[in-house]
C-alpha cells in the first residue's frame, strides 16, 4: 500500500460517517443546538486545544521515532496557534483563563493508541474528520455575513491540508510491513468512528435523527 491508496481506502471505508460529519447537523451537534457565533467559537477552541494536547503527548513519547516526535511537535504548535486564534474571537477569554471541558471522544480514542503506525494513522483519520468540521464552520460564518471569520476557518482548513500531506509522508516512513499499514488503517477508521459515534449519541440525546444528511 502507498499513502494515496491509504487515504482512498480510509475515505471509502468511512464514506457514510464522513458524509454525515460534513453535514449541517454536525455543527448542530458540536454546539448542542446553540447555533450562535460564540458557541461555534467555543466548540472550535475545544477541538483545537484537545488536538494540541494529544499531539504534544505523542511528541513527548521517547519511544517514538525521532521524525514522528518532531512532526507531532510541529502539529502541536500549529494546533495551539489555531486554538489561540479561535479563542481570540471570544472577548472574555484568553488561553490563560480558558478552562477546557470534556475531552472529545476522538481524542480519548487517539490518546489510547500506541506505536507510530497506529498514531500516524489515527492522526490522519482525525484530520479527515476535522476537515469536515472546518467546512461547516466556514459555511456557518458565510451565512452570518462574516467573511473575515469565514476566511479564518478556511485558513485553518488549508493548514489541515498541509498536515495530511506531512502525515501521509510520515506514514510511508513508519509503515514497514502489511501489518503496519493495516494497523494504521484500523486506527484511522477508529478515530473517524469515535467522532461519528459521539455525533450520533449527541443528536439522539437531543431527540434529533442523526442519519439524514442535510
Domain locations in the chain? 3-205
Mean pLDDT, residues 61-89 taken together: 95
CA 1/CA 148 separation, integer angstroms:
41
CA 20/CA 16 separation, integer angstroms:
6
Instruction: List all residues 6 or more positions away from 169 whose beta carbon is below 8 Å from its beta carbon.
Output: 3
pLDDT band at 213 (very low <50, low <70, confident <90, very high): very low
Q: What count of Cα atoms within 13 Å lies in the side-chain half-sphere of residue 13?
A: 18
Q: Which three cell numbers stand for residue 174?
A: 513508519
The predicted pLDDT at position 56 comes to 98
Q: Which three cell numbers stand for residue 214?
A: 442535510
The predicted pLDDT at position 170 comes to 97
Tell me if the domain spanning 3-205 has CATH number 3.90.1150.10. Answer: no
Q: What is the pLDDT of residues 92-145, one digit of tens each?
A: 655 556 677 789 999 999 999 999 999 999 999 999 999 999 999 999 999 999
The predicted pLDDT at position 94 comes to 59
Q: What is the mean pLDDT of the chain?
A: 92
The phi and psi torsions of 177 (rounded to 5 degrees) equal -150, 170
Q: 145 — alpha (psi -120 to 50), left (phi > 0) or beta?
A: left
Mean pLDDT, residues 65-82 taken together: 97
Greatest Cα pair distance, the chain, in angstroms, is 50
CA 27/CA 32 separation, integer angstroms:
8
* Residue scoring higher pLDDT (178 or 88): 178
Instruction: List all residues 6 or more positions away from 200 whose beta carbon is below 8 Å from its beta carbon.
Output: 210
CB atoms within 10 A of CB 103: 16
The predicted pLDDT at position 61 comes to 97
- Cα–Cα–Cα angle for 23, 80, 161, rounded to 5 degrees: 50
Judge whether 121 and 187 are in contact, CB under 8 Å: yes
Judge whether 121 and 193 are in contact, CB under 8 Å: no
DSSP assignment string, 100-119: --SPPHHHHHHHT--SHHHH
Amino acid at each position: 500500500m502507498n499513502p494515496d491508496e491509504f487515504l482512498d481506502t480510509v475515505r471509502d471505508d468511512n464514506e457514510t460517517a464522513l458524509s454525515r460529519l460534513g453535514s449541517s447537523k454536525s455543527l448542530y451537534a458540536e454546539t448542542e443546538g446553540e447555533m450562535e457565533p460564540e458557541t461555534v467559537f467555543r466548540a472550535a477552541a475545544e477541538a483545537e486545544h484537545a488536538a494540541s494536547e494529544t499531539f504534544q503527548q505523542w511528541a513527548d513519547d521517547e519511544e517514538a521515532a525521532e521524525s514522528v516526535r518532531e512532526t507531532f511537535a510541529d502539529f502541536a504548535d500549529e494546533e495551539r496557534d489555531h486554538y489561540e486564534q479561535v479563542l481570540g474571537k471570544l472577548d472574555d477569554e484568553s488561553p490563560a483563563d480558558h478552562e477546557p471541558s470534556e475531552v472529545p471522544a476522538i481524542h480519548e480514542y487517539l490518546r489510547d493508541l500506541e506505536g507510530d503506525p497506529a498514531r500516524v494513522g489515527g492522526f490522519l483519520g482525525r484530520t479527515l474528520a476535522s476537515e469536515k468540521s472546518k467546512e461547516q464552520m466556514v459555511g456557518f460564518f458565510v451565512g452570518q455575513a462574516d467573511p473575515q471569520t469565514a476566511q479564518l476557518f478556511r485558513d485553518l482548513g488549508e493548514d489541515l491540508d498541509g498536515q495530511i500531506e506531512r502525515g501521509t509522508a510520515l506514514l510511508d516512513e513508519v509503515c514497514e510491513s502489511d501489518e503496519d499499514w493495516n494497523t494504521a488503517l484500523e486506527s484511522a477508521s477508529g478515530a473517524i468512528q469515535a467522532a461519528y459515534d459521539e455525533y450520533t449519541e449527541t443528536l439522539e440525546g437531543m431527540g434529533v435523527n442523526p442519519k439524514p444528511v442535510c
